[in-house]
């Protein structure tokens, strides 16, 4: 169940003790987290080259609590990230190939969501006291921005730039377009999805000191990939890249002898297949067969 903002647990928190109670930690634990200088595990993702900052267990507990509470606040229908019952699949399902489409996202979004924007949200939107807003900002940001490996960053990034996303939604309405937002992935579909709309959207991003990039335009009838889902005339399909990953896993599975490594691949493959079946139900039979093989391997391993 979602609630209006003025009924949120975060609304008008006026003291650190009240904040600690809402976060289900003691005041001493809250002060300890604020004083600590090593609250994050840091590494570089080998695949993307992106720096990752992941909260350590004590802080992670707070981040998960914040994410849960913020996700209960009413949000517009266009937002599909970090909201119960919505996902990258519902995000893609809001679009079709019958009209033109514009895709745009924000370059290095989490590192670009500044701590000042987070502070502004808690102080001016949630009407928390200054000290509480400062504590929340300190707990939920790192190096002056949102951490890239936090469970609270997806929903908090929306609220920190809520005005910007609403401006993009108004732009979509004036152009006769549907808009969806999944973290920083913004998609417009409709008669007005043109280069002119793309230019206007990038101008809105720039006004908030953000850089829109990875832009893509699609003609009516042209298949398009939206948040990892292929939207086609026949409906939603699995993109070729994801199909290849599944095919490679099948080949690996077939080549391996029974044992722990084969079980590991079976578990991963089962997850991939069931996820694929959420996009395209024709994958469901393969998922169920692989689940049975996984279970058989598990019994063999025991």
> What pLDDT shows up at residue 46?
87
DSSP the chain: --B-GGGSTTTT--SHHHHHHHHTS-HHHHHHHHH-S--EEEEE-TTT--EEEEE-HHHHHHHHHHHHHHTTB---TTB-SSSTT--HHHHHHT--SSS-EEEEEETTHHHHSBHHHHHHIIIIIS---HHHHHHHHHHH-BTTB--TT-SSHHHHHHHHTHHHHHHHHHHHHHTTEEEEEETTEEEEEETT-SHHHHHHHHHHHHHTT--EEEEEEE-TT--EEETTEEEETTEEE--HHHHHHHHHHHHHHHHSPSSHHHHHHHHHHHHHHHHHHHH-GGGHHHHHHHHHHHHHHHHHH-
> What pLDDT shows up at residue 2?
78
Percent of the chain with pLDDT over 90: 93
Tell me the pLDDT tens digit for each residue of 49-69. 899 999 999 999 999 999 999
Model pTM score: 0.91
- The model's confidence at residue 48, banded by pLDDT at 50, 70 and 90, is confident
Do the beta carbons of residue 39 and residue 112 sit within 8 Å? no
Tell me the pLDDT tens digit for each residue of 256-297. 999 999 999 999 999 999 999 999 999 999 999 999 999 999
């Amino acid at each position: 169940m979602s609630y209006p903002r003025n009924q949120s647990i975060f609304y008008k928190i006026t003291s650190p003790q009240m904040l600690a109670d809402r976060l289900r930690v003691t005041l001493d634990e809250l002060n300890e987290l604020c004083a600590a200088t090593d609250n994050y595990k840091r590494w570089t993702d080998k695949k993307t080259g992106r720096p990752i900052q992941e909260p350590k267990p004590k802080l992670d507990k707070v981040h998960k609590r914040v994410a849960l509470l913020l996700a209960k606040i009413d949000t517009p229908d266009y937002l599909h990230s970090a909201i119960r019952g919505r996902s990258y699949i519902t995000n893609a399902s809001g679009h079709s190939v019958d009209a033109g489409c514009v895709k745009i996202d924000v370059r290095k979004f989490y590192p670009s969501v500044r701590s000042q924007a987070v502070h502004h949200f808690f102080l001016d939107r949630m009407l928390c006291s200054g000290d509480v807003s400062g504590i929340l900002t300190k707990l939920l940001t790192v190096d002056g921005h949102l951490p890239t490996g936090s469970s609270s960053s997806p929903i908090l990034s929306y609220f920190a730039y809520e005005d910007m996303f609403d401006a993009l939604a108004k732009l979509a309405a004036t152009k006769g377009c549907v808009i969806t937002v999944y973290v920083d992935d913004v998609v417009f579909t409709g008669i007005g999805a043109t280069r002119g709309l793309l230019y206007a959207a990038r101008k809105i991003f720039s006004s908030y000191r953000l850089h829109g990039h990875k832009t893509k335009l699609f003609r009516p009838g042209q298949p398009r990939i939206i948040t990892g889902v292929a939207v086609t005339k026949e409906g939603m399909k699995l993109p070729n890249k994801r199909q290849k990953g599944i095919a490679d896993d099948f080949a690996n599975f077939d080549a391996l002898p029974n044992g722990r490594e084969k079980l590991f691949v079976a578990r991963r493959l089962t997850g991939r297949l069931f996820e694929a079946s959420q996009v395209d139900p024709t994958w469901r039979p393969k998922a169920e067969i692989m689940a049975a093989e996984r279970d058989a391997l598990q019994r063999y391993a025991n």
